């Protein structure tokens, strides 16, 4: 049984709802935020493990909480868990005031993930973001002032009407801030978003995938020139700043998920919590685990997950780890698949690892499917 060394906490509230967002989130006004925190803290108290390596508090937007609510959450986390390595909070640039950064620092948060998306004012408006370009600069300034040692920005590309020049300008501005890490995702039109409705009504053009692919390759080269090396399909870091928490997901390790809509993986069981805040609160108040779905992952599924999650990382899947976890030699278990993919130059099969090639990374989904039987 793998010990749980990581946890994710979900704060499902936002001060403004973005036009492209399909996460489990609710407009914060009139939400029972204090009740939610009470239940979240109760749910955390049921966890067996106290000593964690990584913690990630995301959303929604954790910084949508008031200072008093934020301190209540931070002190409950501190009372319950020892976090030895990486403690990340997601933040929206306009909400990261000096007072909130000071609180985060006081309680040991050592990594911030800022939802920037773009520096272009018109695109920020189109995305329905609550912040403006200047907020990004002051958020990073505040984080530096209070000595947060690792700062990551989320950037989006392939946005409606976004030109290559606009994207390059956003990359240049991000680089000028000398951040330690960048996560970057191409826009996907998800159902049940305002963007999707506009698209259905013919008021928004479909994302341009060819231009998106160009932007992606441009970004990989540009960031590498500034010491932000790609270490996963969508993630880039300076040395020592790769996200240890995200590696837990890609290495298919165990983690707790706390809060409405959070997912976890404990004792070989994947589970997701109830999404609606009120329903979540009702269950926890009754003393019940607020679980919506749970599924025991079979050995075959664990092996498949090991491949398609592990291959997302540039270092790929470790052969020694595969053998240790599953008792199989990867070259024998996936003999045919590895031979076929190697012949197509989609993977490198080294003595220690199996990893995607440059070409394989472009059609990662095709490669991943090969390992799913
Ligand atoms: S801030 Fe994040 S979670 Fe909230 S609506 Fe925007 S994208 Fe979604």
**pLDDT tens figures, 177-210:** 999 999 999 998 999 899 999 989 988 888 888 9
6-250: CATH architecture? Alpha-Beta Barrel (3.20)
Q: What is the dihedral of CA 106, 280, 60, 17, to 10 degrees?
A: -140
Token digits of residue 95: 């909400």
- Nearby residues of 173 by Cβ (< 8 Å), 6 or more positions away: 119, 133, 136
Looking at every residue in the chain, the average pLDDT score rounds to 96
Tell me, what DSSP letter sits at residue 72?
A: H
Burial of 222 (0-12, 13-18, 19+ CB in 10 A): middle
pTM confidence score: 0.95
Distance 104 CA to ligand 1 centre (A): 20
Provide, rounded to the nearest whole percent, the portion of the chain with pLDDT above 70: 100
Distance 64 CA to ligand 1 centre (A): 10
pLDDT score recorded for residue 1:
67
Distance 190 CA to ligand 1 centre (A): 13
Classify the C-alpha dihedral 60-66-70-72 as positive or negative. Answer: negative
- The CA-atom distances, in angstroms, between 158 and each of 14, 128, 187, 198, 236 are 24, 16, 6, 16, 18
| pLDDT interval class at 272 (50, 70, 90) | very high
Residues facing 230 on adjacent strands: 236
pLDDT score recorded for residue 205:
84
Distance 18 CA to ligand 1 centre (A): 5
Distance 26 CA to ligand 1 centre (A): 9
Distance 96 CA to ligand 1 centre (A): 15
pLDDT score recorded for residue 2:
75
The owner of tokens 């300076």 is 238
Smallest CA separation from ligand 1 atom 8, residue: 21
Residue of 10, 11, 21, 185 to mutate, ligand 1, most atoms within 8 A of C-beta = 21
Q: CA angle at residue 200 from 195 to 205, to 5 degrees?
A: 65
Residue of 27, 58, 61, 96 to mutate, ligand 1, most atoms within 8 A of C-beta = 61
pLDDT score recorded for residue 107:
98
- The CA-atom distances, in angstroms, between 82 and each of 47, 69, 86, 110, 171 are 13, 21, 11, 14, 36
| Contact indicator for 199, 189 with CB cutoff of 8 Å | yes
**Residue 318 C-beta-side C-alpha neighbours within 13 Å:** 8
Residue of 11, 13, 15, 18 to mutate, ligand 1, most atoms within 8 A of C-beta = 18
**In the chain, domain spans:** 6-250, 318-370
Give the model confidence (pLDDT) of 312-363 as tens digits. 999 999 999 999 999 999 999 999 999 999 999 999 999 999 999 988 988 8
- The CA-atom distances, in angstroms, between 84 and each of 105, 248, 263 are 15, 15, 22
Instruction: Looking at the CA of residue 129, tell me the nearest atom of ligand 1.
Output: 6
pLDDT score recorded for residue 358:
86
Average confidence (pLDDT) over 132-150: 98
Q: Which residues approach ligand 1 with their CB closer than 6 A?
A: 14, 17-18, 21, 23, 25, 59-61, 92, 115
């Amino acid at each position: 049984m793998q010990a749980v060394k990581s946890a994710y906490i979900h704060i499902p509230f936002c001060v403004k709802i973005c036009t492209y967002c399909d996460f489990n989130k609710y407009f914060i006004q009139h939400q029972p935020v204090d009740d939610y925190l009470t239940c979240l803290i109760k749910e955390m108290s049921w966890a067996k493990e106290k000593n964690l390596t990584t913690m990630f508090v995301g959303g929604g937007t954790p910084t949508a909480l008031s200072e008093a609510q934020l301190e209540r959450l931070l002190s409950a986390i501190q009372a319950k868990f020892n976090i030895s390595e990486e403690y990340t909070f997601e933040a929206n640039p306009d909400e990261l005031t000096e007072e909130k950064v000071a609180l985060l620092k006081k309680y040991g948060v050592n990594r911030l993930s800022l939802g920037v998306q773009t520096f272009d004012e018109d695109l920020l408006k189109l995305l329905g973001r609550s912040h403006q370009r200047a907020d990004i600069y002051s958020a990073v300034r505040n984080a530096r002032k209070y000595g947060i040692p690792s700062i990551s920005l989320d950037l989006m590309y392939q946005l409606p009407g976004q030109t290559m020049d606009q994207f390059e300008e956003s990359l240049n501005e991000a680089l000028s801030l000398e951040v330690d890490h960048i996560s970057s995702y191409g826009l996907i039109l998800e159902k049940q978003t305002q963007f999707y409705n506009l698209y259905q009504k013919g008021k928004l053009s479909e994302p341009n995938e060819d231009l998106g692919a160009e932007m992606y390759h441009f970004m990989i080269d540009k960031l590498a020139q500034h010491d932000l090396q790609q270490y996963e399909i969508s993630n880039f870091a300076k040395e020592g700043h790769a996200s240890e928490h995200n590696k837990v997901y890609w290495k298919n390790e165990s983690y707790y998920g706390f809060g409405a809509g959070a997912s976890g993986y404990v004792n070989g069981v994947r589970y997701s919590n109830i999404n609606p805040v009120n329903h979540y609160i009702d269950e926890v108040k009754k003393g019940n685990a607020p679980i919506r779905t749970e599924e025991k992952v079979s050995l075959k599924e664990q092996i498949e997950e090991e491949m398609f999650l592990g291959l997302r990382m540039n270092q790929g899947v470790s052969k020694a780890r595969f053998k240790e976890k599953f008792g199989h030699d990867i070259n024998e278990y996936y003999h045919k698949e590895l031979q076929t993919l190697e012949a197509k130059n989609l993977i490198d099969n080294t003595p220690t690892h199996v990893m995607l090639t440059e070409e394989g990374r472009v059609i990662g989904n095709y490669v991943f499917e090969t390992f799913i039987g």
